[in-house]
Amino acid sequence: MEDEVIKKFLYVNRKAPYGTIYALESLEVVLIGAAFDQDVSLAFIDDGVYQLKKDQKTSVDSGAGMKNFSKTYLALGDYDVNKIYVDKASLDERGLTADDLMELVYEDEDDDYKEKSSISIVNQEEIAQLMEQQDVVLSF
């Protein structure tokens, strides 16, 4: 990377997992992109919030016939991807609350490696602001 220009990347996830390939593709792009030390945020909106639903149970040989890639979101903290924003209205209209989501955490290097939650439940205005602050927005 020349001159270490750090750009702000936002990945917007709006599709449920398994039914289409978008969710998995997005996750893979995030993991690959994490190698480039950019300022990465993830937003989960509409059916995208279902990607973070806890208790997903499937495998290549059973269930949806795909690997349970929900486990991979738990590794995002290791990849320094720890700004995860979930749209409250999307949770509300699906009858979901924060308790229905996986606990995604990271270790804060600047705070004695204390384990902290990566997830913020935010309102429409906060997401709108977030989008506006980005250099690059990628939709999935």
Partner 1 sequence: MLHTINKSPFETNSLETCLRFARAGHSVLLFEDGIYGAFKGTRFESLITDSLKSKNIYVLVPDVEARGMRTDNVIDGIKTVDYAGFVDLTVDNKTVQAWL
Partner 2 sequence: MATIEVNGKAVELDEEGYLTELKDWSKEAAAILAGQDDIELSDSHWEVIKFLRDYYDEYQIAPAVRVLTKAIGKKLGKDKGNSKYLYELFPYGPAKQACRFAGLPKPTGCI
Site residues (vs partner 2, CB under 8 A): 28, 31-32, 34-35, 67-69, 71-72, 74-75, 78-79
CA-to-CA distance for 114 and 105, rounded, in angstroms?
Answer: 10
In terms of CB distance, is 102 or 121 closer to partner 2? 102
User: Which residue among 59, 97, 117, 124 contacts partner 1 (CB under 8 A)?
Assistant: 124
Segment contacting partner 1 (CB under 8 A): 28-36, 56-64, 109-117, 131-139? 131-139
The residue behind tokens 């890639």 is: 69
121 binds, among partner 1, partner 2, none (CB under 5 to 8 A by kind): none
Q: Is 122 exposed, middle or buried (0-12, 13-18, 19+ CB in 10 A)?
A: middle
Q: Is 23 exposed, middle or buried (0-12, 13-18, 19+ CB in 10 A)?
A: buried
In terms of CB distance, is 56 or 90 closer to partner 2? 56
